[in-house]
Structure 1
Amino acid sequence: MPAAPSSPIPAGLGQLAGWDPACPEELPDLLARLSGLPDPRRRRGRHHPLPYVLAVAACAVLAGAKSLTAIAEWAADASDRLLFCCGAALRDPDRPCRAPSEATVRRVLQHIDGDAFDAAIGGWLTARAAASRAADQGEHPPPGPARAAVAVDGKSLRGAIRADGRCVHLISALRGDGIVLAQREVDVKSNEITAFRPLLEPLDLTGAVVTFDALLTQTDHAKFLVEQKGAHYIAVLKGNHPTLHALVKELPWKEVPLLDRTRATAHGRDEIRRLKAATVPRLPFPHADQALQIVRRRRTIRTGKVSIERVYAITSLTAHQANAADLAERVRGHWAIENREHHVRDATFGEDTSRVRTGGAPRAMASLRNLAIGTLRLAGRDNIAEGLRHHGRDMARPLAALGLT
């Protein structure tokens, strides 16, 4: 008997012919990581999978979206094919993939587990960076990996003001290549000190050099990094350690030779930095081996005004483990967390003027911005604003950058 004629494929589903919904282990890596997050919504009334909503938000932010409304508008303009790549569930033939509404995006970002979301993003960026390095090195890896640089610092989201008048405050760990490894929200009744260890606990810091400012210069932090994480530290000294600060400040620095001098002109300022280092036995701080003096001379080009600042620090690195140039580069690199993350999120994404302030949404939006910045940096883009414009001109580009196609 002749075979029965096959039924026609509805027009909408025909666009997706040959595309089989992937099972979790076959999903692109980012979707796979997002699939492991707990869904904060009630089972009843879920119209979109959680990874889908988050992937759409990630693509929209990478295309330059600065608000929840802009994310929903990007999704509404996306084709069925693009939404399917983001993990959309197939619906009816006339409209196979439905875009999440602004209300859905808002609810998800307000209630998402921030720690789990940041861990998924940091894990994906780290794995992507490792894969990129392995591809670049090929069969001839370098003889020995350089010590990774990790800067820890906090940032307040000035537009995200809670009912009690306080801003949402986040603390981040930024790697030297511009990737945010981890991020946590500081509890309103606490400060960055209590968030430091939970921030770094999940990370592999073996051999890394962690830098932080004076607030985080705590004996427990030094012991934690060296004894439990196998890392080193460079810690700034100020008035919260008056005895140690006075001891280091009163060292005979005039007799210590200048080890490094650098000069840079940027942001309307001409800056000269000088660094001296001295090995000091029995410094009264855990695992401290060297003391540092950093002198910064800044001249404002427009006005000619000159300012000089002396900063003192200690490090667990010995003179054999880090030469002067290495120490100077790591001290300068600590400010990368300001220039490569905080400043970009403010200047390019308008974070401090964002009106997103309810629940966990401010932190989730910061996490999506970290993902966008890290993705662009891994693609070799230093100008983040230019990268956002590039991805905003073609809706398929964000998916390709995030590995969703």
Structure 2
Amino acid sequence: MLEAVDADRLDAAVGSWLDARLHAAGQAAGHGRRRRRAVAVDGKAVRGTRHASADGQPVHLLAALDQLCGVVLGQVRVDGKTNEITRFAPLLEPVDLAGCVITADALHTQREHAEFLVTGKRAHYILVVKKNQPGLYAQVKNLPWRHIPVASRQHNRGHGRQEHRTLKAAAVAVGLAFPHAAQAICLTRQVRPLDGGRWRTVTVYAITRVDARQATPAQLAAWIRGHWQIEALRHLRDVSYGEDASQIRTGSGPQAMAALRNLAIGILKTAGHASIAAACRHHARDATRTLETLGLRPA
């Protein structure tokens, strides 16, 4: 059944239901929409499916995730004959993005994407700039960053390393060859293992439609870092649900199962569970706990 189901419609239903659940939880808590929502967009290959295709390529899925809650709002399959770029708009079209900030990697730093988000969806964006857009990359990199003061600093220790992050932002409303760009961003990360060793420095450039009046530099830094919540989702699906080890490889099966994993994770997160692994064990001990989590009463 899962191999024959319309996986796109299943994904749409799951995303819509989880979005409504998040909205209802926010209203119940009195939060409403006062806090600007950030949505991360990124892709994932389901590695266990690579043996099912003639060319050895695994099923590839593109997802949109609410950064704050870690819940998937939409997911689409990327056809082997195309790439993520053509699936960006179809992924986000059904989602209410008015006032939201969309974060994405350099692959999606496309002028068409910016126009779609700003004009079509009334949203903002933060897009990484790399050498796949050489003209834009040169423009952003050659801004006078040395003379621009650091606007945000973060220091973190964890996962076996210490990290220093600084962010600079420059208004570029005129002259930058990208639609609706209001600011350019220079993010510098210095990382070193906790047991010592040399510091490793990485500099990342980005552009955003958000101007200085709409968000502080610290908020920009938080949204950029929050993008990696989607990596945490991949880890959950692989480790807690064994996605890459799954033997479901044909038809709509891989996408449908990924949608169900997103659904399970979303339910547990909106119910307040910090650890998905612990939540799975908790519900496995007593089947009626699942009904309670869903707000249902056993007959």
**What TM-score comes out, normalization by structure 2 length?**
0.95
Pick one of 145, 151, 168 that aligns with 1:259: 151
Decide whether aligned partners of structure 1 residues 328 and 232 sit closer, same or farther in structure 2, where only a CA change above 3 A counts: same
Give 1:367-378 correspondences, 5 Å limit: 367-378=259-270
Of structures 1 and 2, the larger Rg is shown by: 1
Higher strand share: 2
Which one is further off, 121-130 or 184-193? 121-130
**Distance across 2 between alignment mates of 1:187 and 1:250:** 37
Structure 2 unaligned runs (5+)? none
**What TM-score comes out, normalization by structure 1 length?**
0.70
**Distance across 1 between alignment mates of 2:151 and 2:277:** 37
Q: Compute the displacement of 1:269 (Å).
A: 1.7
Q: Compute the displacement of 1:404 (Å).
A: 4.5
**Distance across 1 between alignment mates of 2:132 and 2:246:** 33
Tell me the residue number matched to 1:334: 227
Tell me the residue number matched to 2:239: 347
Superposition RMSD in Å: 1.3
**2:209 matched to 1:316?**
yes
Tell me the residue number matched to 1:147: 36
Tell me the residue number matched to 1:297: 190
Q: Compute the displacement of 1:302 (Å).
A: 3.9
**Distance across 2 between alignment mates of 1:227 and 1:311:** 27
**2:290 matched to 1:390?**
no
**Distance across 2 between alignment mates of 1:359 and 1:404:** 33
Q: Compute the displacement of 1:277 (Å).
A: 0.2
**2:59 matched to 1:168?**
yes
Deviations 1:256-305 (A, max 9, x none): 11011111222212111110000012210000010000001111224634
**Distance across 2 between alignment mates of 1:266 and 1:398:** 33
**Distance across 2 between alignment mates of 1:288 and 1:193:** 19
Tell me the residue number matched to 2:168: 276
Deviations 1:134-173 (A, max 9, x none): 2222xxx56x612110000000001112321110000000
**2:94 matched to 1:205?**
no
Matched AA of 1:358: T
Give 1:1-400 correspondences, 5 Å limit: 108-137=1-30, 145-161=34-50, 162-164=52-54, 165-176=56-67, 177-280=69-172, 281-302=174-195, 304-339=197-232, 341-400=233-292
**Distance across 2 between alignment mates of 1:392 and 1:361:** 24
Q: Counterpart of 2:197 in 1: which secondary structure?
A: coil
Q: Compute the displacement of 1:234 (Å).
A: 0.3
Matched AA of 1:163: S
Q: Counterpart of 1:151 in 2: which secondary structure?
A: strand
Q: Counterpart of 1:278 in 2: which secondary structure?
A: strand
Matched AA of 1:153: D
Q: Compute the displacement of 1:363 (Å).
A: 1.0
Which one is further off, 346-355 or 305-314? 346-355
Aligned residues with identical type, % of pairs: 52
**Distance across 1 between alignment mates of 2:94 and 2:26:** 22
Decide whether aligned partners of structure 1 residues 197 and 386 sit closer, same or farther in structure 2, where only a CA change above 3 A counts: same
Q: How many pairs are equivalent?
A: 293
Matched AA of 1:152: V
Q: Compute the displacement of 1:400 (Å).
A: 2.5
Q: Counterpart of 1:150 in 2: which secondary structure?
A: strand
Deviations 1:178-219 (A, max 9, x none): 110000010010110011010001111000000000001100
Tell me the residue number matched to 2:294: 402
**Distance across 2 between alignment mates of 1:378 and 1:188:** 33
**Distance across 2 between alignment mates of 1:402 and 1:110:** 26
Deviations 1:343-389 (A, max 9, x none): 11112212112222121111111111111111111111121111111
Matched AA of 1:322: A
